[in-house]
Amino acid sequence: MRYRFLGGTGIEVSAHCLGTMMFGAVGNPDHDDCVRIIHSALDQGINFVDTADMYSAGESETIVGKALRGRRDDVVLATKVHFPMGEGRNRGGNSRRWIVQEVEESLRRLGTDWIDLYQVHRPDHTTDIEETLSVLGDLVHQGKIRAFGCSTFPAEEIVEAHHVAERRGLQRFRTEQPPYSLLARGIEADVLPTVQRLGMSALTWSPLASGFLTGRYRKGRPVDLTAGRAALNPARFDPELPVTVAKLDAVEQLVALADDLGCTLPELAVAFPLAHPAVTSVIIGPRTLQQLQDAIKGAALVLDDAALDRIDEIVPPGTDLYHPDGAWTPPALTDPERRRRPLNGRAAA
């Protein structure tokens, strides 16, 4: 296992991070099995574990807490805050009110006194970024968190946060956690260069492109839309959609490349993000022990220039074959009022 330093913090993390989104009701509901998977990852050299409060409504954090009893000091533990937790107002977002409340809940579920990396899960355009940075800095001073970062922030919002921190004398985001894979390379155009320029670390997620790079989904093969990842979002796997066709066409070419390299498609997929100099760690999110073992095999694979050139021919740099983040879309796109100039009270002709 390779290790790298995290965004100028001096914290050393494994180049592959164990993501736990699939632990709990959404994926694997067997707590004992999930604990075994976490222990296996730690035994194989992974020292970086990533979760979030909203994963299975807190259940993932609870499972991670169980697994880390007696091993907490050896693990760099990351979690996130932003998405709503339960019914009612003011139970989500990036406000001081919510973050102060929810960090205590995460600490309780995780069974720990501190969080190594606390991440803002998505942008919140109802909260001033200065408010968010201020409360996160307070949590560092209180010893409840060691460092903080953001997740799936556009490049311009990362830059804004950095400039606000400089102007106001606040602590800054140390990491960004974006989706990145062989089929979703859009962040190469802006987010990754921004992360490099600001001395941050990129911790990338979804290297298997929501399952399309597992080798399970191939062109011409029937897809069971009632099982696995396809059951969670059937539209994403609809073979009639042009976006699905484009992904499957690329998969066939990537399978051929993997065969030439003497590796599997998942191994190629997990190795690819680490080739970018901005990427510190790649998050792998297994549901089973076998999936963990398959993903870790890619940890030793290093892609040379010839392999990367062939990948560039299949999926050009900076190209997204699909929208990789189905959980969040900028309000500028979802709110029509942000795209339409007011008519000053007059009806349109």
Q: Catalytic: which of 3, 55, 118, 180?
A: 55
- If one counts every other C-beta atom within 10 angstroms of the C-beta of residue 189, the result is 14
Question: How does DSSP assign 195-206, residue by residue?
Answer: HHHTT-EEEEB-
CA distances from 46 to 12, 49, 73 (A): 11, 8, 13
Phi/psi of residue 34, nearest 5 degrees: -60, -40
- Token pair in block for residue 140: 């560092």
Q: What are the strands, taking DSSP E only, across 134-287?
A: 145-151, 175-177, 201-204, 279-284
- Tell which residue, 197, 260, 257, 235, has the closest CA to residue 322: 235
Please give the Cα distance from 188 to 318 (Å, whole number): 5
Would you call 180 a catalytic residue per the annotation?
no
What's the per-residue H, E or C state across 313-333?
HHCCCCCECCCCCCCCCCHHH
Q: Which residues are catalytic?
A: 55
